Amino acid sequence: MDFLVEYQWELFIFAEVMSLVALLLFGVVRYFFGKRKLSFIFIFLFLLLLLMEAVLALVIYQETSEISTFQIVIIVFLVYACTFGISDFKKLDRWMRLKIGDWRGIDLLTENDRLIMKKKNDPKYIAKKYRYSSLIHLLVFVVVQGIFWGYGLSHFHQVFDYLQDLSWIGTDNVSETPYPNEAIYRISIVWGLVFIIDFIYSWSYTIFPSK
User: Where in the sequence is the domain holding 62, given as residue range(s)?
Assistant: 1-92
Whether residues 67 and 146 share a domain: the answer is no
Can you give the chain as a three-state secondary structure string? Answer: CHHHHHCHHHHHHHHHHHHHHHHHHHHHHHHHCCCHHHHHHHHHHHHHHHHHHHHHHHHHHHHHCCCCHHHHHHHHHHHHHHCHHHHHHHHHHHHHHHHHHHHHCCCCCCHHHHHHHHHCCCHHHHHHHHHHHHHHHHHHHHHHHHHHHHHHCCCCCHHHHHHHCCCCCCCCCHHHCCCCCHHHHHHHHHHHHHHHHHHHHHHHHHHCCCC
Q: Does residue 142 lie in a domain region?
A: yes
- Over residues 60-74, mean pLDDT: 80
Whether residues 135 and 77 share a domain: the answer is no
Per residue in 139-161, pLDDT tens?
989 999 999 999 889 888 899 99
Per residue in 109-139, pLDDT tens?
888 888 888 887 788 888 888 899 899 889 9
Whether residues 208 and 160 share a domain: the answer is yes
Whether residues 88 and 126 share a domain: the answer is no
**How far is it, in rounded angstroms, from Cα 97 to Cα 108?**
6
Per residue in 158-200, pLDDT tens?
999 999 999 999 888 999 999 988 888 888 888 899 899 999 9
Q: Does residue 98 lie in a domain region?
A: no
Whether residues 145 and 190 share a domain: the answer is yes
Number of domains present in the structure of the chain? 2
Whole-model pTM: value is 0.66
Whether residues 81 and 135 share a domain: the answer is no
